[in-house]
Amino acid sequence: MPHASLSSDGLVVSLTVDQQTTRFHAIWLRDNALDEATKSSSNGQRLIALRDIDSTTYISHAQVSAEALQVTFMPEQKTVSFPLHWLAAHAYDKPQTSSKGWLPHSQSLWDSSLMGQLPVADFDAVSSSPAALQTWLADIARFGFAKLNGGPIKAGALTQVVDLFGHLRETNYGRIFEVRVEEKPTNLAFTGLALQAHTDNPYRDPVPTIQVLYCLESSAPGGDNVLVDGFNAARQLQQLNPHGFDLLSRYCARFE
């Protein structure tokens, strides 16, 4: 049975569900109260500011009933109910990973062994099936990239790819950047030279989130696309040279 216990000063409730105990603080609960006077019932937005909460707020009574935690705030004498599933979703009393170089579990590191199983999807499939789109986007979130085959071959078609999940972020280059070989190149991207591994627009603030490279036509044979997992590179540096990794993670580097 879920149950709640209250600290003697009324400042902390310890909620135990399935033998897991999570703490919630009186001020936090009051600030996040779900009643209509605290949160707009029509749009979920908060109607009070922190300054509206008495700084001496404490809880005089806490109990679990009907899958909810009920607490009474003093000196307001206000009783508010929090569904247990809401508390579970918003619990903040859990171990935090703050070590340098941590990765969320949802992220996969990779190297060239990924070649045999590249994350790839089909344009028509992701355009028509929300499930296929979700799988493709989940691959991007997990690996940092994913291929997309079979898109329309016409100028600006990449904007249709962006429309699948977000919005174009314009830059000084305009809405899109045409990569093509030019006679008098002002950018290495306009030459036939092989480019080394690089990050585009690292000097931009904010830096790009997702970048879409869209091939309309390849008029010459050969040429490889090279992808590098920067997280894996960082992890390898951490293992090979912990001191170097520590230095790089503690000091801000300016772009140059």
Binding site for a copy of itself (CB under 8 A): 32, 40, 42-43, 45, 47-49, 90, 96, 98, 167-172, 184-188, 193, 196-197, 205-207, 209, 250-252, 256
Nearer to a copy of itself, 72 or 160 (CB): 160
**Any idea what DSSP says for residue 174?**
B
Nearest to 172 by CA among 182, 184, 186: 186
The C-alpha atoms of residue 63 and residue 5 are separated, in whole angstroms, by: 8
Shortest separation between residue 99's beta carbon and a copy of itself, angstroms: 12
Length of the chain: 256
Nearer to a copy of itself, 97 or 117 (CB): 97
Residue 96 CB contacts under 8 Å (≥ 6 apart), including other chains:
none
Nearer to a copy of itself, 77 or 225 (CB): 225
Nearer to a copy of itself, 170 or 217 (CB): 170
By CB atoms closer than 10 A (0-12, 13-18, 19+), residue 13 is buried
Shortest separation between residue 153's beta carbon and a copy of itself, angstroms: 25
Shortest separation between residue 62's beta carbon and a copy of itself, angstroms: 21
Nearer to a copy of itself, 117 or 172 (CB): 172
Nearer to a copy of itself, 42 or 218 (CB): 42
Shortest separation between residue 191's beta carbon and a copy of itself, angstroms: 9
Shortest separation between residue 194's beta carbon and a copy of itself, angstroms: 10
Q: What are the CA-CA distances from residue 226 to residues 67, 70, 112 (Å)?
A: 53, 56, 10
**18-26 contacts, C-beta under 8 A, 24 or more apart:** 22/87, 22/88, 22/91, 22/93, 22/94, 23/93, 24/69, 24/87, 24/91, 24/93, 26/57, 26/58, 26/59, 26/71, 26/73
Shortest separation between residue 196's beta carbon and a copy of itself, angstroms: 4
Residue 71 and residue 13 in contact, taking contact as beta carbons nearer than 8 Å: yes
Shortest separation between residue 255's beta carbon and a copy of itself, angstroms: 12
In degrees to the nearest 10, what's the CA dihedral of 29, 32, 37, 42? -150
Nearer to a copy of itself, 1 or 197 (CB): 197
